[in-house]
A = this chain, B = another copy of it.
Amino acid sequence: MGVVISLEEGKNKSASVKPLVDLTKTDMDRVNQLILSKAGSDVQMIPEVANHLISSGGKRLRPMLTLASASMFGYQGEGHVKLATSVEFMHTATLLHDDVVDESDLRRGKSTARMIWGNQASVLVGDFLLGQAFKMMVDVGSLEALDVLATAAAVIAEGEVLQLSVAKNLETTEDDYLSVIRAKTAALFAAAAEVGPIIANADKASRSALRSYGMNLGYAFQMVDDALDYGGKSADLGKNVGDDFREGKITLPVILAFRRGTQEEQAFWRSAIEKGESSDENLEKALGLITKHDALKDTIARALHYGKIARDALAPLPAGPLKDAMMEVIDFTIQRVN
C-alpha cells in the first residue's frame, strides 16, 4: 500500500540523506562515541535500556542538523558534538516516555524497552538521559543554547500532554493537530538547527533562518510519519500500518477523512477511534475512506507546503555543500512516503 506523491516542481526525485551523512560523518562518529559514554553508568540497567533504543537504527537526523548548522557557520570546537548528543538524548528520552504513555509494543521493528525492562525502567532511564543531556549542555557553556534547548524540553512535554488531552477526540481540528506536532516534533528540530549558529556566533538572521528551517522540516517530517502509518510497510517503518488507528490517535489523515466524510462515515470513525473498534476489518475500511477522500495525498501536500517554507528559510544563506545537503534532506523527508 504505497502512496504516490507528486513533487509538483519536478525537483530532485531521488533525494537522499546521504550527502548530509557524508558531510557530518567525522563529527557524527564523535557523537556516537559520546552517546555510548554518556549512556554509561555503574547501574547496569541504564546502558542496557539506553543502548537498546540508541542502537535500534534511527537515522539521527536531529544531531546531524546540529552538526551541520554549526559547521555551516565555520564553528571550530567541541560544543557542537556535545549539543548534538544532548539533542539525541532529549529525543531518546522522549521516545522512552512516549512508549510508556502510548503503551507501544514495537518501535522501529523491535520490542520497545518497556516490553523488555518494564515501564518503570523506561521512565527512569528517560529521566537519566535527560539529566545527562542537560549536563552536557551546561558543559558547553552557552546560556543562549541552553535557553533554546531547555525551552524545547518544556514545549515537548507540554505538547505530549496536549496530545493526551486531544486523544481519541474527533473534534480535533487541523490547527489543534498543528499545535501538537509543533510541540512534539518541530520544536526539537528547530532547536537542533538553531543551536548551531548560536554556538558559532552567527548573526541573528542566520539563527532565525536555521530555526525556521528546522521547525518547518519538523512539521513535514511528522506529517509524513503520520501518513506512513496509513500507507507504509512494517519493515521499512519499524511499526505496523494502522498502529495509530489502533491507538485511536488523531493524525492529519484521520482529521481530513473525518471532516470530508458523510454522516455515516463519521459515525464509523467515531466507533473506530472513540470507542476503539479497531479490528483489521475496520482498518481496511478506514484505509478505504482515507483513499476515497484523498486524505493521504493531501497530508503529503501539506507536508510539501512546510517543506517549501523550510527551503525558503534556508535560501538566503551562502551557497555551499552543507546548505545543498540540508536542502536535499527536505525532499528526502517527504519522499520517504514512496
Q: Which residues of A contact B (CB under 8 A)?
A: 41, 43-46, 97, 100-101, 119-121, 123-125, 127-128, 130-132, 134-135, 137-139, 141, 143, 146-147, 150-151, 153-158, 160-162, 164-165
Contacts and interface: CB of A to CB of B under 8 A. Distances in A.
Contacts of A100: 119-120, 123
Contacts of A97: 123-124, 127
Counting every copy of the chain, the complex holds: 2
A131 B157 contact: yes
Nearest to A125: B161
Contacts of A119: 100-101, 119
B143 A130 contact: no
Contact of A134 (B139, B154, B160): B154
Interface SS majority for chain A = helix
A151 B134 CA distance: 8
Contact of A162 (B43, B131, B143, B158): B43
A150 B123 CA distance: 18
Nearest to A135: B150
19 contacts: A43-B161, A45-B161, A45-B164, A97-B124, A100-B123, A101-B123, A121-B164, A123-B123, A124-B160, A127-B153, A128-B154, A131-B153, A131-B156, A135-B150, A135-B151, A135-B154, A137-B150, A138-B147, A139-B147
A138 to B, nearest CB: 5
Contacts of A154: 128, 131-132, 134-135
Given A100-B119, A124-B101, A138-B147, A165 B45 contact: yes
Contacts of A139: 147
